[in-house]
Structure 1
């Protein structure tokens, strides 16, 4: 039986809970990218100072963000980074509290921690690369860009491994299965795009590299949004509800 206090707390979670972080972060990130891209297009696709003079006609994200929209990029990158880190931390915390499906082995916890560390490294790097723009700090910008991509890939790999082992233990959970496969697809696609981007950057194939960078940034949104599947059930659960869950679901929170 729920008390009036617990019902009030449960209702409040539906309107303000951890699952808002991936939603808000995704909206801000996509909005930032669209703001940069549409500005460049509406300006008549100008050739920025930071762009290669040897035939580059498509601007990188960093080229547009190094101009007068730099404050927008810094703000968008900062908000997205914080939401990204809090989404992973929230999943770890809620599993520990038993408000979502708990980890069932030490290996899952280790993979989860690796994912959080990767997210922190990648998130901090995203903020720094937005501050040290490619027009004024080219070398630093590229270093932080590489760290950001590496951090996100490490985070995604840690998450995939954690969810692979977790999903095997809770095969009845459709939400967990969806989340796992979304993360697998994201990791494979993002890894392929990162490799292609690195090749284009090193070989000076700038137009193709710019397109890949825009696509890679948008694909990142899918990874962030995938945590919605993990965090949403916490809006309907209470502390310890999933602590002793083994092979059968306690309620419908995870079977939507």
Structure 2
């Protein structure tokens, strides 16, 4: 129990009472009911030794009780539990394919699940034929069907346990909402691997019990052999409990989808609950739907939001992988790389920035000068001294003269008249 803010107590785990996890439990109740009923009836009858039995023993074999007037009970209960046994595996496959519980994380898992279903069907047909062909009238057929039942149920368990092992050994690929199942840093430190270990323990115990049953039967100790047979029958029911635990998360999520205001959800739109547009708040308001129409939500990793996020991440990765042609050319040409470094250095040094501004100002001044004043250029041999009155040295006249423009003439001693145009950039 957990204390709420109001001091009230509520359970740690809330779940939908009538849900898929009940399917193997129904098979369990029917199977245990069959076994207990047969033992009670045999005890009420005074623990008789039937005429077709060769030796006295205590207790008798299950097959011996099924060959008496209790055979209709044996047939009906065996067939009923067989339906729910196979239905458990089918429902588990359906829920994982529809992403209502932890979906498959390997392409081998669906194949193992289908193989498990096929083997389970054959094995459960075997137990049905065991009840139909009784040991009294069809002894050899009866023993053959027992062998088929044990062999194919064993194969079905191995395939299903393989699915659990893949979940438990690859915890990094699990749905993010299953982070609560991880309790350590090791990749095997998760509840799925614990479930796998529990199933392996069940399988090992079942093999040991079956081996003891066959050993004592072969050596003529029927009483001890019968005890191991009944132990195997009851132990078989615990497998159904393990499978019920595999389907239980679906019942938890069903309850959360119908009562998000009572239990904090960890599904994909939990972050949007305060926005008022989430599916969970629509379920609270019910929107005219009955409670039976409120189905399970997608798991977080397979939600539309996460699918869009995956597409966005993929597109972003593709854009990063695509190199700009200019950048690619620059990477291939060292000269362009040096030029890029020079440009970067130019933009970073203050002195170069001032020079750049000065050049821009000078280019603007050049554009403002009338075109007729730029026809002639004079190259002076010496720099003009800073003086308020211009001092002229003999210039080298430009050969590109335009007679249509006004000319200025200066006669200097021992020299020929020269003409020049005043350079506006030279301070006088």
TM over 0.5: yes
Runs of at least 5 residues in structure 2 that lack an aligned partner in the other structure? 1-14, 173-178, 182-189, 255-295, 304-428
* Deviation of 1:110 (Å): 2.3
Q: Which has the higher relative contact order, 1 or 2, with Cα contacts under 8 A spaced 6 or more apart?
A: 1
Residue 27 of structure 1 corresponds to 29
Offset, 1:215: 0.3
User: In structure 1, how many angstroms separate the alpha carbons of the residues matched to 2:114 and 2:140?
Assistant: 30
Q: In structure 1, how many angstroms separate the alpha carbons of the residues matched to 2:54 and 2:300?
A: 55
Structure 2 distance, partners of 1:123, 1:218, is 16
Partner of 1:68 in structure 2? 69
Residue aligned with 2:16, SS: helix
* Misfit runs of 4+, over 4 Å: none
Structure 1 position 185, deviation (Å): 1.4
Equivalent residue for 2:244, pick from 224, 228, 231: 228
Deviation of residue 15 (structure 1)? 4.3
- Of Structure 1 and Structure 2, which has the larger fraction of its residues in helix? 1
2:298 is aligned with 1:240 = yes
Q: Distance in 2 between matches of 1:74 and 1:224?
A: 20
Matched, 1:14 2:16: yes
- Structure with bigger gyration radius: 2
Q: Output aligned runs, 1:44-83, within 5 Å.
A: 44-53=46-55, 55-83=56-84
RMSD: 2.0
Kept after mapping to 1: 8 A contact 2:31/2:77: yes
> What pairs with 1:140-219 in structure 2 (closer than 5 Å)?
140-170=141-171, 172=179, 173=181, 176-219=192-235
Q: Is the 8 A contact 1:98 1:243 kept in 2?
A: no
Deviations 1:137-183 (A, max 9, x none): 11111111111111111111111121111112237436534432321
Q: CA deviation at 1:200?
A: 2.7
Can you list the C-alpha shifts for 1:74-131, whole angstroms capped at 9, x where unaligned?
Answer: 1111111111101111111111110111111122222222221221111111111011
TM-score normalised per structure 2: 0.51
Instruction: State the TM-score, normalized to the length of structure 1.
Output: 0.84
Give the Cα separation in 2 of the matches to 1:32 and 1:108.
33
The answer as to whether partners of 1:159 and 1:183 remain within 8 angstroms in 2 is no
Q: Structure 1, unaligned stretches of length 5 or more?
A: 1-12, 246-256
Report how many residues are paired: 232
Name the counterpart of 2:107: 106
Cα deviation for residue 240 of structure 1 reads 3.1
> 1:49, CA displacement in angstroms?
2.5
Cα gap change, 1:81/1:219 in structure 2, threshold over 3 Å: closer, same or farther? Answer: same
For 1:175 and 1:23, the matched residues in 2 are separated by: 21
Residue 18 of structure 1: how far off its partner (Å): 1.8
